[in-house]
Amino acid sequence: MLEQDKLPHGFALLLCISLGSLLSGIAVSEIPLGSKLSVGESTSWVSSNGDFAIGFYNFPDQPKQFSVGIRFNSKSVPVDKQTVVWVAGGDVTVGNNSYFQLQENGELVLFDALQGEEVWTSKTSQLSVALAVLRDDGNLVLLNENRDVIWQSFDSPTDTLLPGQRLSTFRTLRAASQNYVSSLYSLYMNVSGQLQLKWESSIIYWSAGRPSHSNLSAVLTSDGSLQLVAPNLERFWSVFGEDHNDTVRFRFLRLDVDGNLRFYSWMEVSQTWRSVWQAVENQCNVFATCDQQGICAFNASGSHVCTCPFHHAVQSNSKCLVSSQHDCKPGSIMVEHANMFLYGIYPVHDFISRTSLDKCKSMCLSDPSCTAVTFTNDGSAKCRMMKTQYVSGYSDPSLSATSFVKRCSDPLAADPIFPLKSPPQAHKEPYNICIPCLVGAASGTIFVFIVIQLGMGFYLYKRKNNYRRLASLAHSRPGSKCLIMLSFTEIKELTGNFNDQIGPKMFKGALPDKQPVAVKELEGTIEARKFRAAVSKVGSIYHKGLAKLEGYCCEFNHRYLVYEYAENGSLEKYIENPTLAERLTWRKRMDISINVGRAIFYLHTECREFLCHGNLECENVVLDENFEAKVKEFGLGMLYGEASSRRASAQKDVEDFGKMVLTLVSGFKEVKDVLDWAYKEWMEGHPENVVDKRLKNEVDAEELECALRITFWCLQADERVKPSMGEVVKVLEGTLPADPPPPPFSCLISAREVEDTSESGSEV
């Protein structure tokens, strides 16, 4: 099992915990209203037994960013091993001079002095809170006058469960963030009674329990077992740590940053936290455990490492991607990797078929969009084909799988030409020269030479044109960094003369390799230089939530964009069509919201320079064969010379996103007609009335509350209070709470009244 010093950096918890929290923590049985903890002050709230404390801390790589957390505080645990078990607001951090307070109105508040605002609250101001208590089990609770629990930290876990703490249905543990990016790993308790480890929201790589029981909870026991229990405490599943029933003072269950779920026990003798159980025994079986850093394997010491077999030399900490160079003049070859299993991660859905090893290999070699294949030779005869350069996987000598990665074959050296030696001649004889013969031979040679040259010239001309066309089209695949430049004639050919219209000025087509594409017609008056500059910028962007721009046409007065094709079409038709709308379950609608939010957040913050969408609506969100959402037509504002500030552009995207979420929740396309009504229903405590009537009884009340709150914040008329897309995504993911929003239209009314008043004044 893993010892503390072998764990990932995120778990090692080399915390620079505020010295004040260590030197003068206050052991109190009760925390009265008005109590406050401040960054830089030597105070913390401590449980009556001294085992737990809550206070500010930070990490070495974030010296000026602080979080509020509950940590182990026992004197038997050294300072650098006092693990944090709960964090207020999850990934929320604050700056110097910030504070955490139990206000007089009974609400816990984390105030960031740098932003000048509350960044997290317990939302308990209306619940008659009388005091707070940090209990001896590490649970921070708010109590009323009757000592009833109004709120508790055990109900909103971050990445850790303590003994006695329950993970109930729809509750989630999320691994700690790394490098300011929220983790994609989560532990989820579903409604069918299964405990699941997930990557993103769709890849389940470990599960426990049978999908036959409802209303179960996962609970960690003090004797070292994880159980799935019913409300009547009947046990349906359990697993035990190595030290089950041993005398261990401290235990906890954590979803680590590497995506594995582990028990930890405190070893008094060695003064370390020791892993006594982990959900996925082979770390390489954790989905995307190496992400974009290569293939997971085990070294001689038994530790997993990420290696890159796709290149001859790779710098440390660099991405390990399958080569995207498909313009191979000498042709392509398949490089074999024995005992290796590969899978695509962006996107994650590979094409799987049953066939032979040779057929599997040849299928990829003949498919221009294929980058790698894995043949599982354990009797299943499965061929897994990847069409992305974002490939991960694992390698082990005992693995019954063989993978092939496509790459360009090495160029062939020219065959050397050696001069032929003339055979030795015994003697020389004088030659008689035939002049007419020489003239005839010369004339014939010249004629033949001219014919050959003309033929070769014509052949090379045709071959060059065909090669250019095929070479450009060969780049039309996920992960390619090249754009296809097409003529108008080629646009007509690949769309069948615009025969299959799939939307306003949008047509379906197919490239020569049968890859389907969507062709968008734009105004022909767009300046050519501006058009090429814009498509070059947009074409360099790749994200799983964005429809990839494959190519373009800029010829005379023709302007076309060629996108990857989404099998299920636009989101708009699923909202408008009553039959199709039933396929948009509540889960799918929430997943679409999160995926679109992540894509817009990527445009705003993670591109080389800021890029807004400018026209985010259901029509511009398409669904692939797995109902994964992709945003198209982003960045087109550049084509029409739309100039606005970065802030204004971002707020426009935020507002449009809010409208889209409200459409997904309510089923109404024109949200301006239902916004006031939806807010009124929510304020009066009837949010369920806002939900699309075509949805069955499957709506998660907590998710609905989050969705409506963040929607109303996005639609605020006062631009100053609108959230960023990063905050929007965190709320929808459940890692950041949202305060109750004011009426979205209130500021707008005030602004109109002011405008009307000023106009009246000017007339006078």
Note whether 580 and 726 are same-domain residues.
Answer: yes
Report the alpha-carbon distance of residue 308 to residue 314 in Å, rounded. 7
Classify residue 372 as exposed, middle or buried by CB count within 10 Å of its CB (0-12, 13-18, 19+): buried
Q: How far apart are CA 751 and CA 757, in angstroms?
A: 10
- CATH number of the domain at 350, please: 3.50.4.10
pLDDT band at 50 (very low <50, low <70, confident <90, very high): very high
Q: Is residue 698 situated within a structural domain?
A: yes
d(CA 286, CA 186): 12
* pLDDT band per the 50, 70, 90 thresholds, residue 169: confident
| Residue 29, domain member (yes or no) | yes
The CATH number of residue 36's host domain is 2.90.10.10
Higher pLDDT pick, 52 / 300: 52
Contact 34, 103 (CB under 8 A): yes
The answer to whether residues 235 and 274 belong to one domain is yes
Give the residue-averaged pLDDT of 146-169: 94
Q: What is the pLDDT of residue 72?
A: 96
β-bridge partners, 220 = 226
Final residue before a domain boundary, out of 128, 156, 184:
156
Residue 59 has what pLDDT? 78
Average pLDDT score over residue span 236-259: 92
Mean pLDDT of the chain: 81
Question: Confidence class of residue 90 from pLDDT cuts 50, 70 and 90?
Answer: confident
What average pLDDT score do residues 164-173 get?
Answer: 90
Q: Do 616 and 709 fall into the same domain?
A: yes
| pLDDT tier for residue 419 given thresholds of 50, 70 and 90 | very low
Q: Is residue 430 included in any domain, yes or no?
A: no
Q: Is residue 17 part of a domain?
A: no
Domain assignment present for residue 428? The answer is: no
The whole-number average pLDDT for the span 536-540 is 81
> Torsions phi, psi of 441, nearest 5?
-65, -40
CB-based contact 340:401 (threshold 8 Å) = yes
Do 581 and 728 belong to one domain?
yes
Dihedral (Cα; 38, 42, 44, 49), 10-degree rounding: 180
**What is the structure's pLDDT at 436?**
57
* Range 41-69 average pLDDT: 89
**Residue 301 falls inside a structural domain:** no
Confirm whether 692 is domain-assigned: yes
Q: What is the mean pLDDT of residues 516-520?
A: 92
CATH number, residue 496 = 3.30.200.20
Q: Report pLDDT for 10.
A: 39
State the burial class of residue 394 (Cβ atoms within 10 Å of its Cβ: 0-12, 13-18, 19+): buried
- H or E element that contains 10: helix 9-12
pLDDT class of 152 with cuts at 50, 70, 90: very high
Give the pLDDT mean for 344-370: 89
Residues 516 and 656 in one domain: no
* Last-in-domain residue among 543, 564, 585: 564
Both 151 and 223 in a single domain?
no
pLDDT(8) > 60: no
Burial annotation 262-280 (CB, 10 A radius, 16+ → b, else e): bbbbbbeeeeebbbbbbbb
Q: Coil, helix or strand for 455?
A: helix
Residue 212 reports pLDDT greater than 80: no
Amino acid letter for position 162: L
Reduced DSSP (H G I as helix, E B as strand, rest coil) percent helix, strand, coil of the chain, to 5: 25, 25, 45
Same domain, 256 and 218: yes
Same-domain status, 581 and 679:
yes
> What's the confidence (pLDDT) of residue 678?
92
Please give the average per-residue pLDDT across 66-77, as a whole number: 94
Those residues with Cβ within 8 angstroms of residue 250's Cβ, 6 or more apart along the chain or in another chain: 51, 72, 74, 77, 265, 266
152 with 166, same domain: the answer is no
Query: What element of type H or E holds 508?
Result: strand 506-510
Q: What would the two tokens of residue 482 be?
A: 């090249």
If pLDDT is split at 50, 70 and 90, which confidence band does 7 have?
A: very low
Number of compact structural domains in the chain: 5
The pLDDT of residue 17? 43
The predicted structure's pLDDT at residue 268: 92
**CATH assignment at residue 691:** 1.10.510.10
Question: For residues 737 and 373, which has the higher predicted lDDT (pLDDT)?
Answer: 373
Question: Are 650 and 604 within 8 A, CB to CB?
Answer: yes
Residue 655: which of 722, 732, 737 has the closest Cα? Answer: 722
In this structure, the number of other CB atoms found within 10 A of the CB of residue 296 comes to 23
Supply the pLDDT for residue 736. 81
Mark whether 576 and 552 lie in a shared domain.
Answer: no
Host domain of residue 213: 159-280
Residue 182 pLDDT grade (very low, low, confident, very high; cuts 50, 70, 90): confident
Shared-domain flag, residues 214 and 174: yes
Domain end marker among 127, 156, 185: 156
* pLDDT-based confidence at residue 582 (cuts at 50, 70, 90): confident
Could you say which DSSP state residue 209 is in?
A: S
> What are the residue ranges of helices labelled H in 582-689?
586-605, 646-666, 675-683
Q: Is residue 290 part of a domain?
A: no
What pTM, to 2 d.p., does this model score? 0.56
Percent of the chain with pLDDT over 90: 42
Res 597 pLDDT > 90: yes
Tell me which of 458 and 471 has the higher pLDDT: 458
- How many Å is the Cα radius of gyration of the chain? 32
590-593-598 Cα angle (round to 5): 130
- The alpha-helical segments, DSSP class H, found in 474-570 are 488-494, 528-539
Q: Are 408 and 310 in contact (CB under 8 A)?
A: no
Residue 129 shares a structural domain with residue 268: no
Residue type, 430: P
Give the residue-averaged pLDDT of 8-28.
Answer: 42
